[in-house]
Structure 1
C-alpha cells in the first residue's frame, strides 16, 4: 500500500513557511491524494464524537457554532454535515488555495487565515464555539502539542474539543500537554482511542476534551 509520506512528502517541510508553500502548490490535488490512501481522519473524528456523546451524556448542540481548525479543502466540514451538525461552521485555514476549494462547498461562514502558533493567539475569538475540531492538523511539525491550548481557548466553557491525528505523535508530547491542562483545571479528557487505522497501517489517535 502507498504510504502517506510517499504520496504527499509533507514531512520534507523544514519549517512552517515551507509547509504553507507545499500546500499552496498541491491544493488542487489534495483530495485525490488523501482519498487514494483511504485517509480516515475526518471520519474517525465524527465517529468518536458520536461514541463520546453516547458514553458521557454530553450533547453537542446540532445547531450550535463550530470551528474547523485546519479546514483544508473542506473534507472535515463535509463530515460535520454528514454527522448531522447543521449550525454555523467557521474555518481556521492559512492556505489560500486550500480554502478556495473549501469555500466552493458552501459549508463555511467566516474564515480566519492564521496559522497555529505556540506563542501567539490567532484572530479566532475565544470562548465562542460549542465544538472545536481538528482532523490531521496537529503533528510534530508546525501545529505541535504546544498549539493545543489555542484550540481550547476557542471553545466555550463546557464546549468540546475533538482532535484526530497520527497516533505516532501522541506519547510524550500531546498526552503531556493534555495532562497539564487537566492539572490546571482547564479541560477534562473525556475520550481517547488509538485502535483505528489512519492510513497504511499507521494508527490514529482520536481524543476529546471537555472545557471546564
Structure 2
C-alpha cells in the first residue's frame, strides 16, 4: 500500500532525499499519478511553443542528457517527441535507474549527485539538449547546482528546465540572472503555468548556451 504521507518534502538533506527515492522507486510512478504530476508533458508541450516562437529547432538526432532521470518518465517523453539520438541519464538512485534501464531509453548512466561545489563526471560542452523535469529544489539539487548542469551543454545547445514554481523566486531567478549577466546563457523562453501537480504551478525555461 502506498503511503502518500511519505513525500520528498519530508527530506531535509541530499542524503535523505536519495534515501527516499531508493525506498519508493517501485511505486514512484504510481505516486506521481496520484498527485497528477505532469512535469514531463508540460516540458514537451512548451518545447513546441519554444521552437515555433524562436525558430530554434532542437536536433532530434543530437545528444541529450536527462538530469534526474528517475524511472525514465522524461526519457519516454523524449522518445515520443521524436528524439532518436543518444540519450544519457544522470540519476544517483540505483533503484530508480534499475526501472528506467528496463525501458531501453538510455545509452549511458551517470550516478553522481548534483552538488554546488563539486563537478560531476559528466563531460563538459557535450550535449545538444539538456533536460531536467521536477529535479531542482531547495533541498538537494539547489540553485547552486545549476551552473554545473549548464556545463553539460555545448555552445549553441539548449537547456530545458521544469520545476515547482515555489523554488523560482529568490532562488533560481537569481542564478539565472547572474548567468545571463556573465554571458553564459540566454533565456529564450520563460513561463509559469498551472497544472504541474495538484495545486502547484510549474516554472518552465528554455536556455541557449553561449
Is TM more than 0.5 here?
yes
Q: Distance in 1 between the 2:15 and 2:200 partners?
A: 26
Cα distance in 2 between the residues matched to 1:104 and 1:132: 22
Partner of 2:199: 201
Question: Do the aligned residues in 2 keep the contact of 1:163 with 1:206 (CA within 8 Å)?
Answer: yes
The reply on whether 1:110 has 2:108 as its aligned counterpart is yes
Which aligned pairs between 1:48-59 and structure 2 lie closer than 5 A? Answer: 48-59=46-57
Give how far 1:121 is off: 0.6
Residues 95 and 113, structure 1, Cα contact 8 Å, conserved in 2:
yes
89, 95, 98: which one pairs with 2:96?
A: 98
Distance 2:96 2:25 in 1: 5
RMSD, aligned α-carbons: 1.1
**Between 94-103 and 11-20, the greater mean CA deviation after superposition:** 11-20
Whether 1:131 aligns to 2:142 is no
- 8 Å Cα contact 2:21/2:93 also seen in 1: yes
C-alpha deviations, 1:90-144, integer Å up to 9, x for none? 0000000000000000000000000000011100000110000000000111100
2:7 to 3, 6, 9: 9
What is the match of residue 60 of structure 1?
Answer: 58
Aligned to 1:172: 170
Asked if structure 1 preserves the Cα contact closer than 8 Å seen for 2:124 and 2:151, the reply is yes
Answer whether contact 1:193 1:207 (CA < 8 A) is retained: yes
User: Could you state the TM-score of these two structures normalised by the residue count of structure 1?
Assistant: 0.96
Corresponding residue of 2:44: 46
| 1:54-93 alignment runs, 5 A limit | 54-93=52-91
Q: Which residue is 1:144 aligned to?
A: 142
TM-superposed deviation, 1:46: 1.1
1:114 is paired with a residue of what secondary structure? coil
Deviation at 1:6, TM superposition (A): 4.6
TM-score by length of 2: 0.97
| Count of residues paired in the alignment | 208
Name structure 2 gaps, 5 residues minimum: none
Deviation at 1:8, TM superposition (A): 4.2
